[in-house]
Amino acid sequence: MPPRARQRCHAALTAALTLAVAAVLSAAPPASAADTWTEVGSDRADPLTESQGLTSVEVPANSPNRYTGIGTIPAGVSSRGWNHVGDPDASYNGYYVEPYQADSGNAKMFRVQAPGGAWSEYVHTLSSGEALNNSWVAISPDGQWMLAGEYGTMSRFLVFPTPGVNASTSPSANLPQASTVNLDHAVRDVQGCDFSGPTTLLCSSDDPAGTLFGITKPLLQVDLSAKPNGTSDVSGHVTALRQLPLRSSCSGTFEVEGIDYDRRDGTLRVIVVSPGFCVLTDSKTYRFTRS
C-alpha cells in the first residue's frame, strides 16, 4: 500500500476507534456508583440554639426537628460542669439523647428524655485511653445500641447500650462501653454521625487540614461489617463523599457541626457555622437529597 494510502487508512481507523471508545464510555455507568448527596436548600442556623447538632424525631408523630447549642443547655446542667453539648439523636421509639462533656474530669454524660417527657442522666466513666470529649451520638435502627465519637484524629467509634432504651442501663449505674467500631481509615474532628441504614452511617467532619481524604470539611460514609450488637467489635469502611458547603459573607474558618438523616423523607441535614461576625447572620443548616 502506498504511504499516502496507509496514512489515510490509519487516520480512518483512529477515528473509528475514537468513536467506539466514546460510545462505550457514554454507555458505561458513572465512575462513582455510590450514592451522591446533592444540596437542595438551606435554613438559617441560630448561633445560640442551633449551632451544635440536630435530630429528627419520629415519636410522637409530626414532631419538629430538635437542635442543640450553648443556649439549649439547662442552667442546672451547666452549673454542674456539663457545659458543652454535642450532636443528639433520637430512637425509633421516641427516646432522645444528648451527649455532654465537661472541661475536665474522668467522665462524660448522656442526657435522656423519655417519650413521656421525663429527663434522666447517664454517666460514663472514661475507659483507659478514652478522650474526654463527647461530640455526638448515633442510635442504631434497632434502638439498642448507641455509637459515640471522640474529637481529634481517631480510628474508632465507641459503642454503648442505649441509655433508657437498653434494659441493661440505669441512671444510678455507670454506663459501660460495650464494644468498638474499628475504622479502616482515620477520621478527624467528626462532629456528628447518623444511621441512614442498618449498617451505614453518614458523618460530618470538621477536618481543617484535608490530608486524610484530599478535601477539607468532608461528608463521610461509614459502612459497618455488621450491625452493632454490643458483644463484639465490628469494622467500618470509610469513604469521603463530598466537601460540605462553605459559603458566607465573611472570610475565615468555618465549623462543620452536627448531622441528621431524616428517615421519614430521606433528607440529610448538616449544620455549618460561618466565620467571624457572620456566625450571627448566615450560619446554615444545609439540606441534601440522595441521587
Quote the cell numbers at residue 101: 462533656
Query: Any idea what DSSP says for residue 277?
Result: G
**175 found inside a domain:** yes
Burial of 81 (0-12, 13-18, 19+ CB in 10 A): middle
**CB neighbourhood size of 171 (10 A):** 14
**12 found inside a domain:** no
What pLDDT, on the 0 to 100 scale, is given for residue 35? 72
**116 found inside a domain:** yes
pTM across the whole model: 0.88
**3 found inside a domain:** no
Number of domains in the chain: 1
**207 found inside a domain:** yes
With contact defined as beta carbons under 8 Å apart, do 223 and 235 qualify?
no
Residue linked to cell 450560619: 283
Residue linked to cell 437498653: 166
Quote the cell numbers at residue 188: 478527624
φ/ψ (deg, to 5) at 191: -105, -10
What pLDDT, on the 0 to 100 scale, is given for residue 15? 40
**17 found inside a domain:** no
What is the span of the domain harbouring residue 261?
A: 33-290
**26 found inside a domain:** no
What pLDDT, on the 0 to 100 scale, is given for residue 34? 57
**140 found inside a domain:** yes
State the DSSP H helix or E strand holding residue 10, giving kind and residue range, or none if neither.
Answer: helix 3-27
Average pLDDT per block of 10 residues along the chain, 291 residues long: 42 38 31 72 98 96 96 98 98 97 98 97 97 98 97 98 98 98 98 98 98 98 97 98 98 98 97 98 98 88
CATH of the domain at 104: 2.120.10
Sign, CA torsion 160/74/255/67: positive
